[in-house]
A and B are shown apart, each in its own frame.
Chain A
Amino acid sequence: MDMGVGIDVGSTTTKGVLLDSSGNILARSLMTTGASAIQAVEKTLRNISSSSNIDLNDIPVISTGYGRARVELAEKSMTEITCHSVGVHHINPDIRLLIDVGGQDAKAIRIGPSGRPEDFELNDKCSAGTGRFLEVMARVLEVSLDDLGPLALQSKTPSSISSTCTVFAESEVIGHIGAGESAADIAAGVHVSMVSKISALSKRVGVQEPVCATGGVALNPAFRHHLSNQLGVELWIPEDPQLTGALGAAVIALEKKGKKN
């Protein structure tokens, strides 16, 4: 059976997927990218190979993500914009708007009926509206990043945080702490502020349902809650929201293989 490998070298994590031509994921890998993208790629390939017990030689590889050019044995590299669209389309072909929020960037992608992007907007110049924003605020509130979302969901009256800029919002948060507001309210305010940036990005490409959220931040329940509120839509979240880029790359690798045969 034909197979394809997709590798997504992101700024925070490196993801890998091995897919067969019936659409089954045979192996997956997720690890932090760390200081060396090349090492992360090698390790990802080893993980996939050992967990599936399949020799990856002769299986086509497509790379994506910011480090995509670092994957030497890839046949080709494609942008994460195309790969995320194709990956999400593979699992749920109805999705028309994809919102992907990772550690350092956020994207809103309008997916056409063929699964390819039709329009997109990226926020990658500053950390407002990205995972980094939440990370900084979690540190100020002295909670772990994983606990930040659940904490925020306890709040009924989110604190008002008017700035989406990480630096300014941080000082607002410190102000609220000083004023004795509860950590839950502040955490909720942090999410509302961060999500407002993402919803503006999404509206620029057009909010067409059904809408899907992916990327590491999609695992955060408060993010999902507030995003769904601000956009006025239900969100569909794939089982493994961090893997869709790598999955899309694997789908493309298989398509290429199909064309060659």
Chain B
Amino acid sequence: MTQERASEEKPYRRLETQALLQQIAFRHGLEAMEASENGSLAWVTSGFPVEIPIAMNLGVVYPEQAGAIIGAQKIGPAVSGYAEDLGYSQELCSYARVSIGSTEKPDEVPMGSLPTPQILLAGNNICGTVLKWYDAISEMTGAPVFLLDTPPIEKQQLPHNQEYVRHGVERLIEFIGSNFNRTLEEDRLREVAELSSRATKLWIRALEACKNKPSPLNCADRFLTMAPVVSSRGTEHCVEFYESLVAEVEERAKQGIGAIRDEKIRLLWDNIPPWHTLRFFNILASRGVVFPADTYTHAWTGNMVGTDTPSIIDEVVETYSKVYLNMGLDAKVDKMCQLIDDYDLDGFVMFSVRSCKRYSLGQLVSKEIVTERTGVPGVIIEGDMVDSRVYNAAQIETRVDALLEMLM
């Protein structure tokens, strides 16, 4: 696992659609800057019903995505350091740390500090950390915070919780309305939701193409191409991006072209990736290991894809209450087992992310249950998505190698 081949004969194939990503990211960045200058930029958490601020003509950006970019640039430890200097603990989510750090010293973080927000929209359907994090950003920037509180779901959402979240969504519309002096047009919301749903359905198609052998996409491909469905869903150009991704992926599948050249072992990935070391997947690719599925990018398949609820607001309530991280441990285990079966996987790697307690809690138990139910072995490796200081490559290598030795 130690060496990556340098020649043009790379063990993995680059997606052509990846070139479009840069354009989308560039465009998204410009739009955000413009929105901030016009006084209408929202920072939103990843599980937030973004269709509403978009339909109310706010620009949106995702600090978690900015965190991933900071991680990928390998400046995570330095930027977290700016937050740690302010007194924030190293135990705090590293997305939060680099967000606070880059807000404190934006000039030090040219790629990854976000334009100034005018409103902060947090949903605790992913975790409770986001509220304190957005409170801190609010103190630093003066932007007001709105919290959409979504009680966690164990099996079914209770009717009074549904009512409660519905009330929250109505308050959100009022909050944006009174802060920016505008109203929500139901037609516009329908249009945005429709675009969002089209992008999500295409994304699901791209993911499902990975059931093919060889798999047309590897983990790192999906981590990169998920960006638009996170940050730009509800827009035309996002739909266009996924149309071209699906075309390329389905063509690969039709022709039997894999994401890696010599697929031997198919594994499941659980959790956020180590953005600073995406190379991990390429090194394994050179040994014939591909990851046709992961719980992280599949978490984005639950967006607005149309439910049988009577109104669009009800659909928002249902969709955003049921995000992956807002469900109990059973739902996570079910999802892992289902992916292992559907994608015909030989084993699984669980990344225990030091920062993200919400995603990582319960992995030890889940690992046992998943192996019991599916009969395939798994391994837990430890590290962090952004803070490379707690990522020990040698120890990770031993664990993953031992798993591969069990399979080969």
Contact = CB atoms under 8 A, between A and B. Distances in A.
A and B part of one assembly: yes
A80 B392 CA distance: 17
Contacts, number: 36
A117 B394 CA distance: 20
B52 to A, nearest CB: 43
A209 interface: no
B224 to A, nearest CB: 29
A81 B402 contact: yes
B405 A66 contact: no
B398 A66 contact: yes
Interface string B389-408: 00010110011011001100
Contacts of A82: 402, 405-406
B406 to A, nearest CB: 6
A81 to B, nearest CB: 4
B377 A125 contact: no
B54 to A, nearest CB: 43
A125 B381 CA distance: 11
Contacts of B398: 66, 79-81, 122, 124
B402 A125 contact: no
A117 B2 contact: no
A80 B402 CA distance: 8
Contacts of B402: 79, 81-82, 117, 120
B405 A124 contact: no
B382 A125 contact: yes
Contacts of A204: 364, 368
A102 to B, nearest CB: 13
A78 interface: yes
Interface residues of A, number: 16
A116 interface: yes
A66 B394 CA distance: 8
A204 B371 CA distance: 13
B372 to A, nearest CB: 11
A80 B398 CA distance: 8
Interface in A76-135: 78-82, 116-120, 122, 124-125
A31 B395 CA distance: 23
A69 interface: yes
A69 B397 CA distance: 11
Interface in B318-359: none
Nearest to B405: A82
Nearest to A77: B401
Contacts of B371: 119
Interface in B282-307: none
B382 A79 contact: no
Contact of A118 (B2, B364, B394, B406): B406
Contacts of B399: 122
Interface in A43-71: 66, 69
A69 B2 contact: yes
Nearest to B371: A119
Nearest to A119: B377
Given A117-B406, A119-B371, A204-B364, A124 B395 contact: yes
Contacts of A116: 405-406
Output the residue of A79, A120, A125 with the most chain B CB within 10 A.
A79
Contacts of B377: 118-119
A254 B316 CA distance: 63
A66 to B, nearest CB: 7
Contacts of A118: 377, 406
Contact of B405 (A81, A119, A122): A81
B392 A79 contact: no
Output the residue of B382, B394, B395, B402 with the most chain A CB within 10 A.
B402
A188 to B, nearest CB: 29
Interface string B361-379: 0001000100100000100
B396 to A, nearest CB: 10
B395 A79 contact: no
A120 to B, nearest CB: 6
A39 B382 CA distance: 31
A124 B398 CA distance: 10
A5 B115 CA distance: 61
Nearest to B378: A119
A125 B395 contact: yes
Contacts of A124: 395, 398
A179 to B, nearest CB: 33
Contacts of A66: 394, 398
A117 B382 CA distance: 21
A78 B405 contact: yes
A78 B401 CA distance: 8
A151 B365 CA distance: 38
In order of increasing CB-CB distance, the 6 nearest A-B pairs are A81-B402, A79-B402, A82-B405, A79-B401, A124-B395, A79-B398
20 contacts: A66-B398, A79-B398, A79-B401, A80-B398, A81-B405, A82-B402, A82-B405, A116-B405, A116-B406, A117-B406, A119-B371, A119-B377, A120-B402, A122-B398, A124-B398, A125-B382, A125-B392, A125-B395, A204-B364, A204-B368
Interface of B: 2, 364, 368, 371, 377, 382, 392, 394-395, 398-399, 401-402, 405-406
Interface of A: 66, 69, 78-82, 116-120, 122, 124-125, 204
Given A78-B401, A117-B406, 11 more contacts: A66-B394, A69-B2, A78-B405, A79-B401, A81-B402, A81-B405, A116-B406, A117-B405, A119-B371, A122-B399, A204-B364
